[in-house]
């Protein structure tokens, strides 16, 4: 589950300290999905970075996968990022000198040997599920934007994280491929009881989630696309 209370954030350099997030309250129940909409620059990535424990410079309270992030030391936060959260970056963060498969397996680099063997198998399976079977050994430079994006998604899912934070996961994909990825995410949510928060501009992605929010002028507005604002009640494990 994701719980945010009274979250505010300003970048010192941005517009003389303009607040990007202003008193945000947000809950995504365990085992449910939510979409975070908002125009470019609205603060979606900023919010996801905070939830993923990547940005510690904010006011307010943030709890993700049972951990309150404030006041945690480096080691605890690294463990949190490694074990609890699958983060899919908007700009993918793939390492150019590693193959698609090895990029996915980056998420496994601190695992024990037996676990790494399982991960290797799952990495191939995930690459196949995102439509990249046979492309495992290619370097990111040989992949299209949408293909790189799918490698990044496979990496985020490798360790069956309890919380998945996906920043524009379908931004470079055609509608059919985007749809397929959403189906994959929905299945993983069902099978693993994961919690999913997706930042997206894509209404067709947003309408597949249990709940929608919109960032506007630093504020978070509820039920942004309207038709199902009350979905997303508690179900599934914590």
Q: According to CB under 5 A, which one of 24, 29, 35, 45 is a site residue for Mg ion?
A: 45
Which residues of this chain interact with ligand ATP, rule CB under 6 A?
11, 13-14, 20, 38, 40-46, 90
Q: Which of 62, 38, 51, 64 is nearest to 194 (CA)?
A: 64
Task: Kindly tell me which of 4 and 105 has the beta carbon lying closer to Mg ion.
Answer: 4
63 SS3 class: strand
Residue 237's SS3 state is: coil
Query: What character string, x for contact with Mg ion (CB under 5 A) and - otherwise, covers 75-94?
Result: ---------------x----
CB nearer to ligand ATP: give 11 or 229. 11
CB of 44 to Mg ion, least distance (A): 5
Q: Which is nearer to ligand ATP, 44 or 155 (CB)?
A: 44
CA distance 226 to 163: 24
Rounded least distance, CB 91 to ligand ATP, Å: 9
Which residues on neighbouring strands pair with residue 37, listed in sequence order? 214
The entry of ligand ATP, Mg ion, none that residue 11 binds, CB within 5 to 8 Å by partner kind = ligand ATP
For Mg ion, the closer of residues 33 and 45 by Cβ is 45
Residue with Cβ nearer ligand ATP (16 or 134): 16
Which among Mg ion, ligand ATP, none contacts residue 13 (Cβ within 5 to 8 A by kind)?
ligand ATP
Phi, psi at 9, each rounded to 5°: -145, 135
Pairwise CA distance, residues 25 & 7, whole Å: 7
DSSP state of 235: -
> Using CB distances below 5 to 8 A depending on partner kind, what does residue 113 bind out of Mg ion, ligand ATP, none?
none
How many CB atoms are closer than 10 A to CB 15?
9
> According to the binding rule CB under 5 A, does residue 149 interact with Mg ion?
no
Enumerate residues 6+ apart whose C-beta is below 8 A from 186.
Answer: 33, 208
Cβ distance 238 to 30 under 8 Å? yes
Given the rule CB under 5 A, which residues bind Mg ion? 44-45, 90
């Amino acid at each position: 589950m994701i719980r945010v209370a009274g979250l505010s954030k300003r970048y010192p350099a941005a517009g003389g300290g303009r607040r990007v997030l202003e008193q945000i309250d947000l809950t995504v129940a365990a085992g449910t999905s939510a979409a975070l909409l908002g125009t470019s620059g609205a603060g979606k990535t900023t919010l996801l970075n905070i939830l993923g424990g990547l940005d510690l410079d904010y006011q307010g309270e943030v709890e993700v996968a049972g951990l309150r992030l404030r006041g945690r030391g480096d080691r605890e936060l690294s463990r949190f990022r490694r074990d609890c959260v699958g983060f899919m970056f908007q700009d993918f963060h793939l390492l150019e000198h590693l193959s698609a498969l090895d990029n996915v397996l980056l998420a496994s680099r601190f695992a024990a040997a037996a676990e790494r063997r399982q991960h290797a198998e799952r990495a191939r399976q995930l690459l196949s599920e995102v439509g990249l079977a046979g492309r495992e050994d290619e370097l990111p430079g040989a992949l299209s934007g949408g293909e790189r994006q799918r490698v990044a998604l496979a990496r985020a899912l490798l360790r069956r994280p309890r919380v998945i934070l996906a920043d524009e996961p379908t931004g470079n994909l055609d509608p059919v491929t985007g749809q397929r990825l959403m189906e994959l995410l929905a299945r993983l949510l069902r099978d693993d009881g994961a919690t999913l928060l997706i930042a997206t501009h894509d209404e067709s992605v947003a309408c597949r989630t249990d709940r929608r929010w919109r960032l506007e002028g630093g504020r978070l507005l509820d039920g942004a696309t309207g038709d199902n604002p009350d979905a997303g009640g508690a179900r599934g494990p914590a």
